[in-house]
A and B are shown apart, each in its own frame.
Chain A
Amino acid sequence: MEAIKTVGLTKKYKNLTAVDGLDLSVERGELFSLLGVNGAGKTTTIKMLSCLTKPTGGDAFLLGRSIARDAAEVKNIIGVSPQETAVAPGLTVKENLTLMCGVHGFSREKRQRKLEELTERFDLTEVLGRKAGKLSGGWQRRLSIAMALISEPEILFLDEPTLGLDVLARSDLWDIIRSMKGRITMILTTHYMEEAEALSDRIGIMKDGRLLALGTAESLKTQTGTEKFEEAFVAIVKGERQ
């Protein structure tokens, strides 16, 4: 069974079609990147897959569960790091992590274990007792991503996770993402082409809500006859425009 399968997934806002009949399938353990210019429909796709917005057409199945009919079950197996940083500002870093354990119904032991694990992985020891709202943007971002991972999701959505991170933090996050490859299915969006190329198993390029191209970074380069992946991306997106 695929981790994710979308069937004609569509989202219309009044007279704008944000996602237009998306047919996509992502294998278990795969890291799939969704690329596209601003407004291409990446975030809308992730919002539908994570049951935040209802599709206006089509359906999607996460490990066989429909986002339209089995939303409660889907929510048990996903983790989401939203495009905007999502932390509780008045709580400390530790309390934020504990909150996520709580809403997933973790036992005391499991909570303790996850807390230690995430603190270590995201280097949060120093800021553990500080209020999340008082941290710098990049640190809030790290916390926000850690909060998405704490539930041990089977499918993880990372919407522009490295936005606003410094070089070191980004490289750390790449390591973390790599370490999860194969175990967790990940959908990643990013505007950094080198990031997509370095991390992804496959890449889908979207524009105006539709999928223009799909394949490995290598195959997309071959397809467009370009040397660099960034050139391939530009060729694909521009090719559509002519």
Chain B
Amino acid sequence: MKLLAFSGRNVKEILRDPLTAAFSLGFPVILLLLMSAIQANVPVSLFEIATLTPGITVFGLSFMTLFSATLIAKDRETALLQRLYTTPLTAADFIFGYALPLLPISVAQGAVCYLVALLLGLPATVTVVYAVLFVLPVSLFFIALGLLFGSILSTKQVGGICGALLTTLTAWLSGAWFDLSLIGGAFQKIANLLPYVHAVALEKAVLAGNFAGIFPHIWWIMGYAAAAFAAAVLLFLRQMRRQ
């Protein structure tokens, strides 16, 4: 109940920020439309909707990192969090209270991406539903990353690091825009060691109905999510003690 009260507040703070709605829903949708428009006008297959949508969905999730990090960093800078630290809320209430609200928001965002893709000609099959559901494990990683950065950065730093740097990195390293093997070399090797490309591969496999194809990608995602979450908890507790 206490957790619910706190997470409810976090949902409101996130959704009432007009920028949130604009970025989390508008941006990915605009990208989808834009890329499809480009595709319609070039003869070669650059951005096929079935490969483009998983990439853009994962890219959209990088905003979840931005939202959770921004909320936590802001709260740390005001006395509100200090006040809440003097209430019966426990450390677990805080961590889950920040993380949980972003799960449904992530899935909603994924659903919007796929819905737009359907309108743009993505074949309507049941795998689309699965693809939306598989947004959940992927979003865990992005949310945990937000908790982590929110615990150590200031609001300003969050804007730069999570807002500009991480979203760009996600875009480049995920292979959302182009096939990473086109570049190859060290770039591809590094990209393969990071979760982004695996997140896209996972979504692509699910969308294609290729369930054997979700491995090993899902392990990469879960591994990174677990590591990010563990680090986030440690860093959150550290800043809590430091108050």
| Given known contacts A54-B241, A90-B12, A105-B1, A75 and B78 CB-to-CB distance under 8 angstroms | no
| Given known contacts A91-B12, A102-B4, A151 and B80 CB-to-CB distance under 8 angstroms | no
B9 contacts A91, CB within 8 Å?
yes
Residue B21 interfacial (CB < 8 Å):
no
Q: Which B residues lie within 8 Å of A86 (CB)?
A: 78-80, 82-83
Q: Of the candidates A53, A76, A90, which one forms a contact with B243 in the assembled complex, judged by CB atoms under 8 Å apart?
A: A53
Residue B223 interfacial (CB < 8 Å):
no
Residue A226 interfacial (CB < 8 Å):
no
Interface-located stretch among B84-92, B135-143, B211-219: B84-92
Q: Of the candidates B9, B17, B78, B82, which one forms a contact with A99 in the assembled complex, judged by CB atoms under 8 Å apart?
A: B9
Interface-located stretch among A77-85, A118-126, A166-174, A180-188: A77-85
The CB with the most chain A CB atoms within 10 A, among B16, B80, B241, is that of B80
Q: Which B residues lie within 8 Å of A82 (CB)?
A: 79, 82-83
A65-99 CB contact bits vs B (8 Å, 1 = yes)?
A: 00000001001101010111111111100010011
CB distance from A159 to the nearest CB of B (A): 10
Q: Which A residues lie within 8 Å of B79 (CB)?
A: 82-86
Residue B6 interfacial (CB < 8 Å):
yes
B87-101 contacts to A, CB under 8 A, are 87-90
B88 contacts A103, CB within 8 Å?
yes
Bound-state CA distance A157–B134 (Å) is 48
B1-48 contacts to A, CB under 8 A, are 1-2, 4-6, 8-9, 12-13, 16-17
Q: Of the candidates A53, A72, A90, A101, which one forms a contact with B88 in the assembled complex, judged by CB atoms under 8 Å apart?
A: A72
Q: Which residue of B lies closest to A96 (CB)?
A: B9
| Given known contacts A99-B9, A102-B2, A87 and B80 CB-to-CB distance under 8 angstroms | yes
Q: How large is the interface on B (under 10, 10 to 19, 20 to 34, 35 or more residues)?
A: 20 to 34
B13 contacts A88, CB within 8 Å?
yes
B63-84 CB contact bits vs A (8 Å, 1 = yes)?
A: 0000000000000001110111
B201-226 contacts to A, CB under 8 A, are none
B17 contacts A102, CB within 8 Å?
no
A52 contacts B12, CB within 8 Å?
no
The CB with the most chain B CB atoms within 10 A, among A76, A95, A105, is that of A105
| Given known contacts A52-B243, A86-B78, A78 and B86 CB-to-CB distance under 8 angstroms | yes
Q: Which B residues lie within 8 Å of A105 (CB)?
A: 1-2, 88
B241 contacts A50, CB within 8 Å?
no
Bound-state CA distance A88–B71 (Å) is 11
Q: Which A residues lie within 8 Å of B89 (CB)?
A: 103
Q: Which B residues lie within 8 Å of A80 (CB)?
A: 83, 86
Q: Which B residues lie within 8 Å of A50 (CB)?
A: 86
Bound-state CA distance A85–B87 (Å) is 16
Q: Which A residues lie within 8 Å of B243 (CB)?
A: 47, 52-53
CB distance from A43 to the nearest CB of B (A): 11
Residue A63 interfacial (CB < 8 Å):
no
Bound-state CA distance A83–B82 (Å) is 11
Bound-state CA distance A82–B78 (Å) is 11
Q: Which residue of A lies closest to B93 (CB)?
A: A103
Bound-state CA distance A45–B222 (Å) is 44
Q: Which A residues lie within 8 Å of B4 (CB)?
A: 102
Bound-state CA distance A90–B11 (Å) is 10
Q: Which residue of A lies closest to B243 (CB)?
A: A52
Given contacts A90-B12, A90-B13, A103-B6, 4 further A-B contacts (CB under 8 A): A82-B82, A102-B5, A102-B8, A104-B88
Interface residues in chain B, defined as those with a beta carbon under 8 Å from any beta carbon in chain A: 1-2, 4-6, 8-9, 12-13, 16-17, 78-80, 82-90, 241, 243
What are some 18 contacts across the A-B interface (CB < 8 A)?
A52-B86, A52-B243, A75-B87, A75-B88, A84-B78, A86-B78, A86-B82, A88-B9, A99-B5, A101-B5, A102-B4, A102-B5, A103-B2, A103-B6, A104-B88, A105-B1, A105-B2, A105-B88
